[in-house]
Amino acid sequence: MAKRMQRAAGIVATLVALAGCTDAGAEDAKSSASTPTSTASGVVPTPSAEGTSDGAAATLVGNWAASGLEPMVLHVTGLRAEMMGQHHCRGRVTRQDGVQIVRLKCDDGSTDRAVGRVYGLTASTMTIDWEGFGADSMRRVT
């Protein structure tokens, strides 16, 4: 319980710090990353080289923050993922056709960020394109 409280306090501090940030850097990171292409079946990501190697799964592990209209933190440990911000969601990270997929289920029933494809993954930035919602550019935080 104490560890969970400490982690929550750290995440809240990160969210407060991000609330004052602008999204200018996130747009630059998103535009430099590979972009998804539309097909009749939906959005198909075109991952960068960093997002396609088998070693990329380890790169996704850690804490990631987005500072858009809804500041949030995505915490990835192994194959588990937890998103905290306006919604609290938990789920798993899987690999499908060489692309990492984040699947979340939110405590309040929100489905905005239920399934997302990771692309443009580097050591410090990534973008998650959420099905039917849009994309979040994220930066690694400690």
pLDDT at 21 over 90: no
For 43-55, what is the HEC assignment? EECCCCHHHCCCC
Put simply, whether the predicted model's pTM sits higher than 0.85 gets the answer no
User: Would you place residue 48 in the very low, low, confident or very high pLDDT band (cuts 50, 70, 90)?
Assistant: very low
pLDDT band at 55 (very low <50, low <70, confident <90, very high): very low
Angle at 124 between CA 118 and CA 127, to 5 degrees: 25
Question: What distance lies between CA 11 and its chain's CA centroid?
Answer: 15
**Residues 75-82, mean pLDDT to the nearest whole number:** 96
CATH of the domain spanning 2-141: 2.40.128
Please report, in angstroms and rounded to a whole number, the separation of the first and last CA atoms in the chain: 21
How many Cα atoms occupy the beta-carbon half-sphere of 47 within 13 Å? 21
